Chain A
Amino acid sequence: MSLIRLDSICRRYEMGGETVHALRGVSISIERGEYVAIMGPSGSGKSTLMNIIGCLDTPSSGSYELNGNTVADMDDNDLADIRNREIGFVFQTFNLLSRSTALRNVELPLIYAGVDIDERREIALAALADVGLADRVEHRPNEMSGGQRQRVAVARALVNKPSLLLADEPTGNLDSKTGEEILALFKALHAKGNTLIVVTHEEEVARHARRIIRIRDGLVASDEVVT
């Protein structure tokens, strides 16, 4: 069974009395353990697609199954639980809570999952050690470099052992050297068996993936395996 199965996904918005068709019938399957890049120019619908895959948004029509869960007809609470358990997000702007330490940031998904205090501390510390930040746990985001912040975000994304890591332009705010570091980290995660989806408009970033899906005008334009 595929990890992700999108079938004829459409997403329409009402904008100033006009209907915008962001997605016009996208069907994709992604297997467990894949490393996929989703590419497309701005306005192509790739962000909408990412939001739907990430359960931040729901499709207007079509069906979406994530790890055997039918997402389309879930309510807000179920979606929150799905996001908490199944998906780890990495954002372009890191989106860490600025007033909280690295440790607190990484603990947050565990808090929402209801893990008790001792256990979550242990898990969060291990997740930070995994991304090489064992010595930065008490630092706040503004005391860390961009690369370090993004690694905190990766640790936060992985701390609940989600079935999918979803990264939106993860290197967009980093210089090329730190960007490479993050991509190396992704590669290592993929080697360990994690499923990764990276949304990007940079060919260089996409080339690290094993499969590239290109979106144009709300449709899949191409879907190729990188050799």
Chain B
Amino acid sequence: MNIGSEISEGLRISWEALRGNLMRSVLTTVGIVIGIVTVTLMATALEYLNTAFRDAISFLGTDVLYVDRNEWFIDNNNKFDRMQRREKITMAQVRAVEEGLSGVSGVAPSVMQGVEGLRYGDRSTGGVLMIGTNEQFIITGGASLASGRFMTKAEAAANRDLCIIGADIADKLFEKEEPLGKRITVADQRLEVIGIFEKRGSVLGGMSLDNQIVIPIQKMNRGFKWDPSCVIQIKVGDTARIPAVRDELRGLMRKIRRLPPGREDDFAINQSEALVSQFGKVSAIIAAAGFFITGLSLFVGGIGIMNIMFVSVAERTQEIGVRKAIGARNRTVLLQFLIEAAAICLLGGIIAIGITRGLVEVARVYLPKVAMSWSVVVLALTVAVGTGLISGFLPAWRAARMRPVDALRKD
């Protein structure tokens, strides 16, 4: 008897058995259903978190390096204190990096500061994020313009009274008026609007990328944030060259900041990958905890399946005897009961996917981007069948090992 017809025969028998004990089969699947619903919900939630996070940090750019005084991840207070004592990254150092680094798409210094109340006529905004930078920011910052233009190199160097504003600021201050060419007031400065950014949405749970205003860096350093530490943004332009550029940059910074050999770096080169890997750690912990709980509920479900399969084998001892008497091999009997257990679990898996689908639809009301992917469906069905095979094995093995004469004798 070949394996194909054994499986089709097994499916047929388990279908008959399932139908014959419909109520019992459905009740048995409850445990599995709960387990699989947990699995699919977990997987869907994790997938959602991952994509949401990827979306959220995409504004950082995957090939942009951020030279900063601080590292993005500081795991203890000691380290934080040490970083606070580090020497600032000055404009002179920024210029040295601009001159020393070759073969990259763009280098832009940036200084950020929250400011209150941009004004135009009788309109004003709440708090906005002000970014002081130069003409290269349009390359490194990942934003594009909806209208107008960005500052030129000459304008940046000449420290002109101009600004480029985010979409929300434009909406708030100008409503129906054309913003380009108008002058807005910040503190005691009057700045001409020369460009408006494309709408970008918000990231990391609320920080709006459209509520930003960009000005020449020296204007920032003189008018809003005295003697700041700059962050140097470097767009590499080619992901493959990131490690090489990183090394070159590190050597250059050590030279610029005159660090003797053996002294540790007093600056950090950050990258969105660091965020990703940090988030990876967090999501791995969530996944581990989630799948432990899931594993428990599947375990309980599996025990239920095992129990019912033992009952099924006991009930059908006579049948097993007959099958063996007319030529079923041990393997055939084993397979028959394994398939039956897997089929019950598959049924449970399908019910569970239906339930999860419903729950995801409900969740969509609050989180419109949530979706159940095919990989989750495949995962759920695989886990369901796997649970069936594992928990059905012992009962099936018992059935397969029965001596035909003993099986037949039992009434």
Contact = CB atoms under 8 A, between A and B. Distances in A.
Partners in one complex: yes
A111 B404 contact: no
Contacts of B2: 114
7 contacts: A56-B404, A56-B405, A83-B326, A83-B404, A111-B5, A111-B9, A160-B327
A81 B5 contact: no
A84 interface: yes
Interface string A110-127: 011110110000000000
A80 B322 contact: no
B1 A95 contact: no
B328 to A, nearest CB: 5
A81 B325 CA distance: 10
Contacts of B322: 91, 95-97
Interface in B316-344: 318-319, 321-332
B364 to A, nearest CB: 43
Given A80-B327, A83-B324, A112 B332 contact: yes
Given A56-B404, A95-B322, A100-B16, A114 B5 contact: yes
A151 interface: no
Given A56-B404, A99-B16, A76 B330 contact: yes
A51 B324 CA distance: 13
Contact of B408 (A56, A109, A112): A56
Most B CB atoms within 10 A — which of A80, A81, A91, A108?
A: A80
A133 to B, nearest CB: 18
Contacts of B324: 56, 80, 83
Nearest to B5: A111
Interface in B380-403: 403
A3 B88 CA distance: 103
Given A99-B20, A112-B1, A112-B332, A89 B405 contact: no
A54 interface: yes
A84 B327 contact: yes
Nearest to B16: A99
A83 B327 contact: yes
Contacts of A156: 326
Interface residues of A, number: 28
Contact of A77 (B5, B319, B329): B329
B contact face: mostly helix, strand, loop, or mixed? helix
Contacts of A56: 324-325, 403-405, 408
Contacts of B331: 77
A85 interface: yes
A83 B1 contact: no
Contacts, number: 70
B42 to A, nearest CB: 38
Interface of B: 1-2, 5, 9, 16-17, 20, 318-319, 321-332, 403-405, 408
A117 B332 CA distance: 17
Contacts of A77: 329-331
Contact of A80 (B16, B318, B319, B330): B330
Contacts of B323: 108, 112
Contact of B318 (A84, A95, A109, A112): A95
A140 B408 CA distance: 21
Contacts of A80: 324, 327-330
Nearest to A88: B326
B325 A83 contact: yes
A79 to B, nearest CB: 8
Nearest to B327: A84
B343 to A, nearest CB: 15
A51 B405 CA distance: 7
A112 B327 contact: yes
A57 interface: yes
Interface string A168-184: 00000000000000000
Most A CB atoms within 10 A — which of B20, B321, B323, B404?
A: B404
A84 B325 CA distance: 8
Nearest to B1: A114
Contact of A57 (B319, B330, B332, B403): B403
A138 B323 CA distance: 20
Nearest to B322: A95
